[in-house]
Structure 1
Amino acid sequence: MSASAAPAIDLPPLLASIPGLLGDLRSDHAGETGAVMIYRGILARAADPAIRAFARQHLATEAEHLRLLEAMLAPGQRSILLPVWRVAGFLTGWLPALFGPRAVYATIEAVETFVDHHYEEQIAKLGHGGAEGALRRLLETCQGEEVHHRDEAAAALGGAARGPLLRAWAFVVGHGSAAAVSAARRI
């Protein structure tokens, strides 16, 4: 199943029966909003044709994830911090693009490593049947696509050593993503 072929999910009963689900989905929506903006930031700055193709392809996937989450969550259920996530996402893509392909790929690898774990935590809370199972399969599909993005970025980096600046940047990106999720779950 592709994310775009996901079935309609009756969310209100799930929200009533699964503690923390609204916060999880709110953070997913905020994260996908930020991801769309990361790729827009890359495209706004990067000149390298391979990076631009990479960003366009991944932007399409992230935009589809965002569309699916927007279809599930009413506007009042979304994070009020979305303007912050848009700016932060754009800068998270634009800044590494200043430094070239390695910085861009390292950024995507760091973001998607975090996202893989983030989705895994949510998937573990869900059952396999009914609406819960449908939501689980949707999140598994999104997770798989994010892992593919991570693996593509890692492959583009190859076995090249990551110097202290790239490691520091990846640390900032990973911890920034965690802080954003924590805030989006609540606000």
Structure 2
Amino acid sequence: MKPFKFLLALLLIGFASTQVSAQRMMTREGYIKFFSSTAVEDIEAASNQASSVLEKNTGKIAFQVLMTSFSFEKALMQEHFNENYVESETYPKATFAGQIEDLSKVDFETEGTYNVTIKGTLTVHGVAQERTVSATIKVEGENVLLETVFKVKPADHDIEIPSVVRDNIARELEVTVKAKYAPLNR
């Protein structure tokens, strides 16, 4: 009888851990783009290498992207971005850790589109700033798509823009984030 109880306990533990992992969604191919528009020029850079985890049961969400993964139209812009502005060797990543504030609006079991508010901490260039952003969550089968657009001021993250190019870079950048999450199976 004892082996049966032991086997039953193992099965229950296995089932419980499967349920927890089914609540966790992940992507390693999140898309992040920032856009600067001035009278002098438009500058755009994007990365398809953001990692993100979304916990459906708690609403916790986290993103991480290597600063060197952003691609620019001009190689020189990319070099200046990494060496002079965000100092990628010293500050290699940008991160966001937060919470879906109105998680009760989202039914992860029903396909549909849900508008939510996400509150958390954005860390860029070693400087953490609290952010509250509007986002759209779209449930498609077992996948979850998240999209948001928000503004970031380089000055808020101690990113200095040299006076020589100050007119070329907007004081406020538009940031677009798109992530397609799939269940994390362990």
TM range (shorter): under 0.3
Tell me the TM-score normalized by structure 1: 0.24
Computing the radius of gyration from Cα coordinates, the structure with the larger value is 2
Where relative contact order (Cα < 8 A, 6+ residues apart) is larger, the structure is 1
Greater strand percent: which structure? Answer: 2
